[in-house]
Amino acid sequence: MQRKIDYLHGERRVAAELMSLIYIAIIAEIAIATGTIYVLFPELGALSHDVFTRPRGSWARAPLLLVITPVMTSLLGTFITRHLPYGYLSVIVTVAGALAIVLGLRSPIAPAISAGLLPLTLGVTSWWYPPGIVFGTVLLAILSIIWRRFAIVSSNAIVSSPDEDTSPGAESWWPVAGLMILVTIAVTVVELTHLRFVLFPPLVVIGFEMFVHTRQCPWADRIVSLPIVCVLTAAGGFLCQHYLGVGPVASLVAMAWGVLMLRAFDLHVPPALAVALLPQVMDSPTILYPLAVGIGTSLMTASFALYSRFARRPVVES
């Protein structure tokens, strides 16, 4: 059975989704105007959608960590990208380091893992990347604080209780080990196929929540729908970049397509919105991008199903 999500409902949810779209369009416009495209960090799509639609969610309730965690992982990812080529060592060190930061800070901001892996995946070596992360996350944190105070004024605004404590520090290290094995396998597939986006950065975020926070993860029991949604958002993002180019209009449409897919499948998986936005920062994406996303998500869900069987955790598609 699908886990209940503490969304806003009715007009407030629509308003929250519109705010996330406008926020992404503004960030994209700033990125284009300043010539610093990586201000448009794709996981800002995931973060903005979640903090606006779930003001009592774990991400919205941690505005300081919303800024600190991805900045720290982005610094790590940039440093490693400047000193190591893409491969087993660099990917494992980057992901393990990002996980250590998230776990060490006891931060709920899992998309920070993607902030660490993104430079290595795209070959970003500029030290302007972390300041770009700072700008986007600080703006989002401020907006989320304001929106949270407004959205919770009405007692009918929230449809369920706040998130349970999802502090990763309280979890077993076995799920983390399982995730690292998956990352290693994914790198092997990348090396064999030369499809680097089999291990697209949001995939590790998706896997982290599934493996480490299984009981709270809203897509852990939707392992059939999950790859379909990610492929569709990836395809939509690719088409937006192909026909609309790079900028606020393309970013807004790609984000809106992602939100529509989440609505259509009734699946709360914010990293899928990052998948839709990723082509905006890619160098000449092709139709192979959604194919690679499909391979990566299928590999991840299959690995999670095997892990769940080993751990005796039921996995059911609702």
DSSP string, 185-221: HHHHHHHHH--GGGG-HHHHHHHHHHHHSTTT-TTTT
Mean pLDDT per 10-residue section of the chain, whose length is 318 residues: 66 93 96 88 96 93 97 98 97 97 96 97 94 96 91 51 45 83 96 96 96 90 95 98 96 98 96 97 95 97 88 57
Name the residue among 104, 240, 91 with its Cα closest to residue 167: 104
Q: Would you say the pTM of this structure is higher than 0.85?
A: yes
* Rounded distance between C-alpha atoms, residue 74 and residue 37, angstroms: 15
CA 53, distance to chain mean position in Å, is 15
Backbone angles phi, psi at 294, to 5 degrees: -60, -40
Q: Write out the two tokens for 27.
A: 């960030």
Q: Which residues contact 191 (CB under 8 A, 6 or more apart)?
A: 87
Residue ranges of E strands in 130-287: none
3-state secondary structure of 223: coil
Direct distance between the N- and C-terminal alpha carbons of the chain, in angstroms, rounded to an integer: 5
| The pLDDT value given to residue 6 | 72
Name the residue among 33, 32, 7, 1 with its Cα closest to residue 20: 7
Backbone angles phi, psi at 8, to 5 degrees: -65, 165
Cβ burial of 121 (10 Å; 0-12, 13-18, 19+) is buried
